[in-house]
Structure formats: C-alpha cells, structure tokens
A and B are shown apart, each in its own frame.
Chain A
Amino acid sequence: MVLRKSLADLSYPRVRVLDVSAAEPLIAAHGLVKRFGDFTAVAGIDVDVRAGEAFGFLGPNGAGKSSTMRMIGCVSAPSGGTLRILGMDPVRDGPAIRARLGVCPQQDSLDQDITVRENLTVYARYFGISRRQARQRADELLEFVQLTERANDKVEPLSGGMKRRLTIARALVNDPAIVLLDEPTTGLDPQARHLVWERLFQLKQRGVTLVLTTHYMDEAEQLCDRLVVMDGGRIGAEGSPRQLIERYATREVVELRFSDATLDSYLGKLEGIGERLELLPDRILLYADDGDLAVAAVHERQLRPSSVLVRRSTLEDVFLHLTGRTLVD
C-alpha cells in the first residue's frame, strides 16, 4: 500500500503541550493490581510510558493486558497500587483524562445504524467539539484511514479491516495525547493488518504516544519502541524488541523436524550445538548465533532432519523462553 496523503495535510500539532513536566511519564503505574473477586488479572505491575513512545503489552489471552488497558483508559478502577495518567488520578479525574485519550477497544463499538462519517461527528461531540469542527475533523480522518469513499455508507456492510480503521479514526477525533489500542489487528486479514500498521506507524512518527496490546510478535516488533511481556498478570521482561531478543534469545534460530515420532530422543544427540535447545510438540528449536554453522554441526553428527529452517529469532522465541510455552490465542 502506498501512502496517498501526506502527513502535513492533517491538522495535527507536531509538538504537544502537556501540563505535566517533560520528565514525568504520561502513564505511571506502580504495583498496579486488578482483581475480579478471587481472580487476580493483574498482579502488581510497574510501567512507565513517556511522551512520544510506542509502548506495547505483549502476551497471550488472559495475561492481563486488556485489564491493564482498561485501567489506563479510566473505565476500570485499580484494585491496588498507584496509577497516574497525564499527571492525574484515573479514579478522581476520569472524565478529564478520558478527554485526552483515544481508545481503540478490542471489540468494535461503532454505531451500525448511522453512516461512517456520522460515527466520527457524533463521537466528536462527546468531546465537546463543535459541529463544524467535527465535520472537518471527520473528513480529515476519513482521508487518513482511506475511508473517504465510504463516508456516506452505513457501518454494517464494511469489512472487518474497514471497521477497525474507522475505530482508529474515531479514537483520533479528539486529537488525543495518548492513543490506547487493544489488539488493534486481531482478526484482520494480512492486507488489512498491514494497512492498520502503516497508519499506526505514521501516528508514531508524528509523535503521538501509542500504547498497544498484542499477541502478535510481528506487530510488537514493527510498532513498539519498548514493550513488556506479560503472562499470568505479571511482567516477565521489559525492553525494546531488539534488547529482548538479544537478552532472551540468540541471533538466529534453527527449526528442526524429524520424520520419526520420538523427537525427544534427538535432544541428547543435539546437545552442545548452539546455545540452547527447545523441544516443541512438532519440532526442536536450536538457538545459535550462526544458524548455518549450527546446521552444519547437526549434519556432522549424522543426524538427518526431515526439514531444516534457519531464521532470525523473534519475540516469539523470547516469549517461549520466558514462559516455557508457545503463544496460544
């Protein structure tokens, strides 16, 4: 997809004037906890998000990502710990904070009975934006998410990708200081995902602070400057995608499959090649800084894998290492 509209066309101020000092993070969570009855969804996390950052929560379903996002979005009160957003208290100053957030929820909450443009203008009014400004803003944003041609159509027949783009446009209607995106591309086909990523990347370049959750490794690698890996309500690791890969994986990974069923019998035979081995139900992962060298070593030991794949390591490998299991939806 080629970007048709230059960014300068959008009336976004490049520099955001915030009433918090530059040093103070936009989002500061310390020992943040969320409980639902006996169940602890978020078990004490520390997170700081600074202005202009693209910050990600990575983890499987049930990791506590969405609960964290809902607390940051001021729609769910923390059960413990402290949370400050834009220097304010989410419980006391909910409406004032929400006025400056843009939220793209996991489940669409568009009005199916009105048009695409009306969804934006109506939503703009919730932020106290004048009708005239709302119309102008809606047109700019429709252009930005490439929905101008559908402006007067109803929402209901739109594809999943279009609805998601409309939801993202809606989240930008108040020119937010922070945009929260809860699994922005879940359920979208590859083309639609890439279009969404492209738009989010542009927002990021423009200096908009993005906070997103995802269980897609490639999404986190593409968009996040910094991320935390969550599992079971806790943060397992924190850093830039590159840092995490360097810390918890090797540069390359060799995926080995063997045609006979007893994979674990190969573990001993592979011992000593590369830095670490990981046994999965269908394959063995061999972590090594030089994949080709490792493959040569495998062949030297007279082992005949049915398939060999050398690839760069990804956050998926980091996740696997941290949690000891593959990422399941």
Chain B
Amino acid sequence: MAHPTYAVFEHQLVSYRRVWRGSVLSSFLLPVLFLLAMGLTVGGYVDRGGGLGVRYLDFIAPGLLASTALQVAAGEATWPVHAGFVWHRMYHGMRATPVRIPDMVRGHIMYILLRVALSAVGFLVVMALFGAVHSAWAPAALPVAVLVGLATAAPIFAYSATISTDGMFAVLFRFAVVPMTLFAGVFFPVDSLPLAARALAYVSPLWHGVELTRAATLGTPTAWGGWAHVSFLVMWSVAGYLLAVHRFSRRLAD
C-alpha cells in the first residue's frame, strides 16, 4: 500500500501532467533569457571593470540558478496552497481521508521539490551551453537547488496556511522574496552591502544557496564552508516544516 504522503504527491503529479510541457519549456527558455540579458549584455559592461575576478556571466549564472529554485518554490507554495484551503479546498477533501496533516505537507512539498529539480536541471544545461560551468562539482548544484526549494517552500507553506486572503502574498513577495532575490548575493557579492543589510542576507536561505551553487559551478570555496551553508538551509527546512504542519493543523481544526 502506498504511503499517504506518496498519494498526495501523486495527486499533484496528475495535475502537473496537464501542464508539464509548458513548464519544462519555460525551465529552458527563462535561463536563456536571463543569461543573455544579464550574463552577456550587462556582463559586457561589468567585465570592463574587472572587479569580480571572474566573468560576470560565470558569477551570476549560479546565483540565478539558486534564485530560480526560490522563485519556483515561492510560486508553488503560495497560491496553490491558498487554493487548497480556500478556493478548491483540496486539503479539506484530504482531511476526510486517512491522510494525516504531515502527509499533506510532505506530499505537496515533495512535488514542489520535483518542480525545483526540473527547473534546476534546465538551468544547468543552459549554463553549460553558455560555457558558464567551470567545475566537475557542477551537478552538486542540483541537490543544492532542491535544498533551497525546501528551505523556502516549507516556511512559505506555513505563511500560506496562516493568511486569510491571497492579498497577503503581495506582502510576502515585497518584503521577503524580492529583497532576497536582489540582495542575497545573486547579482553582486554581499560584501559590498552595509553591515546591517549583509546580516539580513546571511539570515536568508537564498544567500547560503547562492554560495553553495557558485562554489559548485565555479569550483571556488564558499564564504563559511560548505557544511555551514548546508546546515543553515537544513535549519530553515526543519523549522519551516514544523511550523507548516502546525499552521496546517490550526487551519484544518474545527
């Protein structure tokens, strides 16, 4: 008998079967656009200064890969989760079955991680085509992307299970997702930030993911050492997961 967590995962796959072509296409197309516009075009100007030590394309590509993991996770952990409580009430449907709340959270997150992994594969392939992969460690960027997905999707699940209207997602994106994307070392090294802003970058899961991804594709050392960054992401994941289960239980009680 399949585990209930897997049944929840399978449910998501049945939905995904309808849209997978488009999503796979965009997971190749988006990196191409990003690397053309940011890596090559902006990079053309940045590289004249030569302050980074590596080509801007090579610097930004792993950052964008980690950031893509965040975007996919954030997109999938917000409105679809809200829909499950309020619009389609999918979670309420599951609640009437032997499926337990941790099964719902885990099964749905498993699916999101699959989506993150697919996007990361697409991104890495495009990066290779652009000549932005410089280390045999590059495949390690994939599990890192998945871990970034988990470390962001899990706490966002808790947020999505807490809010009462989807208007609150604007707050999440404005104050968490967008600032993280801009200031967590994707586009420029965080060393150039003032200390307070740097501290925020250090707390964010994305910066740790960017450090690890960059190390993987460039073959350079990370700021704090690999395990420190991995531990940080695991911490976000575990705390986010526990909080998500707690918020789901609250939402589905009574």
| Contacts from A to B (Cβ < 8 Å) | 36, 70, 73, 75-77, 95-96, 98-99, 101, 103, 105, 107-114, 118, 121-123, 125-128, 170, 174
Contact = CB atoms under 8 A, between A and B. Distances in A.
Interface of A is mostly: loop
Contacts of B134: none
B252 interface: yes
A37 to B, nearest CB: 10
B88 A112 contact: yes
Given A111-B15, A113-B15, A126 B97 contact: yes
Given A108-B89, A125-B2, A128-B1, A73 B7 contact: no
B14 A114 contact: yes
A126 B98 contact: yes
B21 interface: no
B15 A101 contact: no
Contact of B98 (A98, A114, A121): A98
Interface in B46-97: 88-90, 92-97
A118 B95 contact: no
B96 A125 contact: no
A157 to B, nearest CB: 15
Given A125-B2, A125-B7, A95 B100 contact: yes
10 contacts: A36-B254, A96-B98, A99-B98, A105-B92, A112-B88, A113-B88, A125-B10, A125-B11, A126-B97, A128-B4
Given A122-B10, A126-B98, A77 B90 contact: no
Given A95-B100, A123-B97, A109 B90 contact: yes
Contact of A75 (B8, B10, B95, B98): B95
Contact of B96 (A73, A112, A113, A118): A73
Given A76-B253, A95-B100, A126-B99, A109 B11 contact: no
Contact of A77 (B1, B14, B18, B253): B253
Nearest to B97: A126
A179 to B, nearest CB: 11
Contacts of A170: 93
A304 to B, nearest CB: 55
Nearest to A79: B254
Interface of B: 1-2, 4, 7-8, 10-11, 14-15, 18, 88-90, 92-100, 252-254
A123 B93 contact: yes
B17 to A, nearest CB: 9
Contacts of B92: 105, 107, 109
A163 B2 CA distance: 28
A36 B4 CA distance: 30
B11 A122 contact: yes
> Which residue, of B8, B92, B93, has the highest number of chain A Cβ atoms within 10 A?
B93
Contacts of A73: 96
A109 B88 contact: yes
Given A99-B98, A111-B15, A126 B254 contact: no
A109 B10 CA distance: 17
Contact of A110 (B14, B88, B94, B97): B88
Given A95-B98, A107-B89, A111-B93, 7 more contacts: A108-B89, A109-B92, A114-B15, A123-B93, A126-B97, A128-B4, A174-B97
Given A70-B254, A76-B253, A111-B90, A103 B96 contact: yes
A128 B2 contact: yes
Contacts of B89: 107-109
Nearest to A97: B98
Nearest to A73: B96
Contacts of B90: 109, 111
A126 B191 CA distance: 50
Nearest to B3: A128
B97 A127 contact: yes
B50 to A, nearest CB: 50
B93 to A, nearest CB: 4
Contacts of A126: 4, 7-8, 11, 94, 97-99
A186 to B, nearest CB: 16
Nearest to B96: A103
B122 to A, nearest CB: 23
A271 B99 CA distance: 61
Contacts of B15: 111, 113-114
Report the 9 A-B pairs with minimum CB-CB distance, sorted nearest first.
Answer: A109-B93, A109-B89, A126-B97, A103-B96, A128-B1, A125-B7, A95-B98, A99-B98, A122-B11
Contacts of A95: 98-100
Nearest to A121: B14
